[in-house]
Amino acid sequence: MRMTGVEEDSLMARSVEEVVASFDKMHLQYGFMASHFNDSVCKLVTEVSHHKQMISFLDDSIKNLEHQLRKRDTKLMDRDNSNRVLELDHKLIEKTISELKSENAQLETQNDYLKRKVEKRERVMKRENKRNANIYLKGYMDAQTELRGRDPLRERPFLSTRLDGISI
């Protein structure tokens, strides 16, 4: 069975139409895919741009936070240094106070010693003054006895009690 020319033409026309339809279909599919690919690329470019902006924002935020951290660390170091200086000052003041207390205690001890020494000297001076007065009185009495020829102790017994403990 042979095909006639019209049948062949018709078959060919159908196959050309099918090929064209198939081509159109493929063109549409590739066009759709290309369009979809284009859209995807555009979306990716937009996302990349957005991510770059976010990265830039985050970098700026990190730099800002690092700056604030350095600033805070500096303040803390200054505060720590101030605290250390205050602690050293406090220790120095405590040491000075303890030294002054020690010196004060030494001065009080020395002052007490000097007071005792002064009191002792005053007692010795009083004793010496009494002794000198008694010696003077005895000498005066002896001189009176020699001048008058009598014993004043017999006439005045109260004087004998004063002169009993004195040795010349």
Hunting for tokens 């979306």 — which residue is that? 43
Q: What angle do CA 120, 122, 123 make, to 5 degrees?
A: 65
pLDDT tens for residues 41-87?
888 889 999 999 999 999 999 999 999 999 998 888 888 888 888 89
Is 148 a member of any domain?
Answer: yes
> Is residue 168 a part of any domain in this protein?
no
The total number of structural domains in the chain stands at: 1
Helix (H) or strand (E) segment spanning residue 1: none
Assess if residue 44 is contained within a domain.
yes
User: For residue 47, what are the domain limits?
Assistant: 5-163
Please give the pLDDT value at position 168.
Answer: 46
Looking at the whole model, is its pTM more than 0.85?
A: no
**When comparing pLDDT for 8 and 120, which is higher?**
120
Decide if 60 is inside a domain: yes
Is 147 within 8 Å of 129 (Cβ atoms)? Answer: no
| DSSP secondary structure, 107-146, as one string | HHHHHHHHHHHHHHHHHHHHHHHHHHHHHHHHHHHHHHHH
Rounded-to-integer distance, Cα 64 and Cα 72, Å? 12
- What's the rounded Cα separation, in Å, for the pair 165 and 168? 10
| Residue 78 lies inside a defined structural domain of this protein | yes
Span 116-155, pLDDT tens digits: 999 999 999 888 888 887 887 787 777 777 777 655 555 5
DSSP 16-43: HHHHHHHHHHHHHHHHHHHHHHHHHHHH
**Do the Cβ atoms of 166 and 135 come closer than 8 Å?**
yes
